[in-house]
Amino acid sequence: MHVVILAEFATASGGAEKVALESARGLAEAGLAVTYLQAIPGPVDPLLDHENIRRMELGLPDIWSLGGLKAAATGIWHAAAARALEAALRQLPAAPDCVHLHQWTRALSPAVFPVLSRLGVPVIVTLHDYALACPNGVYYRFDRAEPCGLAPLSAACLAAPCDPRSRVHKLVRVARAGALRQALHRRPLHVVHVCDASRRRLGDLLGGYTLTHHRIDNPVRVADGPAADPARGDAIAYVGRLTREKGADLVADAARAAGLPALFIGAGPLEAELRAKPGVEVIGWQAPEAVWALLRRRARALAAPSRWYETGPLTVYEALTAGIPVVASDRSGAAEKVRDGRTGFVVAPELGALTAAFSALRDDTCARTLGANARARFRAAPMTLATHAAALRSLYAGLVGKGAGAMHHDGAEARTGTGSA
């Protein structure tokens, strides 16, 4: 079987790219032929160094680097991206059996969907966010600091000043969403949800498309070494971009209220604000090995109190696997993997609820018990790369041979691979 994985980067600068890279490696190790199409030139992760992986670059610009009207026009419809993709697909030594798209908003644009559809093979898209439905991609009201409840592209949606940048940027994203609807009109597509909550929320929002829904967990790379001992940890840890929608500010304030330091690994727009708070340590981005060495030594728990409907935060699953309790937002897909009161706490992304959870974790027995339970639970049913690759292989095998015509099932759902742990 020959699978094309299409992503915009070949290094893990975010969760979507990380899953694309891990998937490529897992499929290659399982014996499949993989072509990894990298839209934007740049660093290449060693995960792609495998005899069964062929990597090709499309040579496209990151639209964030273009600025002004050119960036806006390219983001709405990048005709050059469509031509580059079509040319790359013609150069393949063998026709693909299916194409799996992980990311399209930074360079590819909606223009690539007609190109993929014309291949006549199954096209799969993993939904790492809500960009297939929502103009700003995260179904979140940045103007109100709360999840959105509006129908995408409705009159209320068009009027809402929900974009994190400006109203003008919102108009550009609305135009892109309109172009996407046109590009996908009557074109069959398979979508992979990485959490149950995503399937429930996006089901109604994607009603206008010709979709078949699937459910596969993201892979979790198990950190080497002994289990963590969170009772020895001195801080509540947070790993990721330092933004308000991800609740970084809540972690700092709740940890202080609970009498614990807050340790932030990452960077983002809230960095200066967080550094100014007492009891906060911000150390910036670190290599994965350094992150996990630090968490094993310092983390009493990992906090992920997202205000938005985050889908499948990998760091949460990795922490649980290592034996570190997690305090997760009840709005996040991560809540499906945390057993409240047994492997961590599932709480509303509010100061009081987080403070109570952090305060409970000050007890050594509580921290140690939750961590041990988390590790045992995840080790019993691991979300490993091999498990993920097996689920993908099963999905592809079920689609290959049916062709594009087999995908005309509006709102249909096929449950594939792993579910909640």
**Per-residue pLDDT tens for 69-78?**
999 999 999 9
Is residue 62 within 8 A of residue 106, CB to CB? The reply is: yes
Q: Are strands 98-101 and 123-127 parallel, antiparallel or unpaired?
A: parallel
CA dist 325 to 194, 222, 303, 334, Å? 21, 15, 9, 12
| Architecture field, domain 230-380 | 3-Layer(aba) Sandwich (3.40)
Tell whether domain 2-219+386-413 is in CATH 3.40.50.2000: yes
pLDDT of 421 > 50? The answer is no
Q: What's the average model confidence in pLDDT over 311-333?
A: 93
In whole angstroms, give the CA distance from residue 253 to residue 242.
Answer: 14
Q: What's the average model confidence in pLDDT over 145-168?
A: 94
φ and ψ at 183, to 5 degrees? -65, -35
Q: Give the range among 311-315, 317-321, 340-344, 402-406 with minimum mean pLDDT.
A: 402-406
Domain ranges in the chain are 2-219+386-413, 230-380
Structure tokens, 336: 């499906």
Which pLDDT belongs to residue 205?
85
In whole angstroms, give the CA distance from residue 245 to residue 100.
Answer: 28
pLDDT of 412 > 90? The answer is no
Please classify residue 179 by burial: count the beta carbons closer than 10 Å to its beta carbon, then call 0-12 exposed, 13-18 middle and 19+ buried. middle
Which alpha helices (H) appear in 65-166, and where do they start and end?
A: 68-76, 79-90, 112-118, 155-159
Structure tokens, 304: 């992920």
Residues 6+ apart with CB under 8 A from 268: 241, 242, 243, 248
Q: Do domains 2-219+386-413 and 230-380 have the same CATH topology?
A: yes
Question: Tokens 């498309």 — which residue?
Answer: 209
Q: What's the average model confidence in pLDDT over 171-188?
A: 94
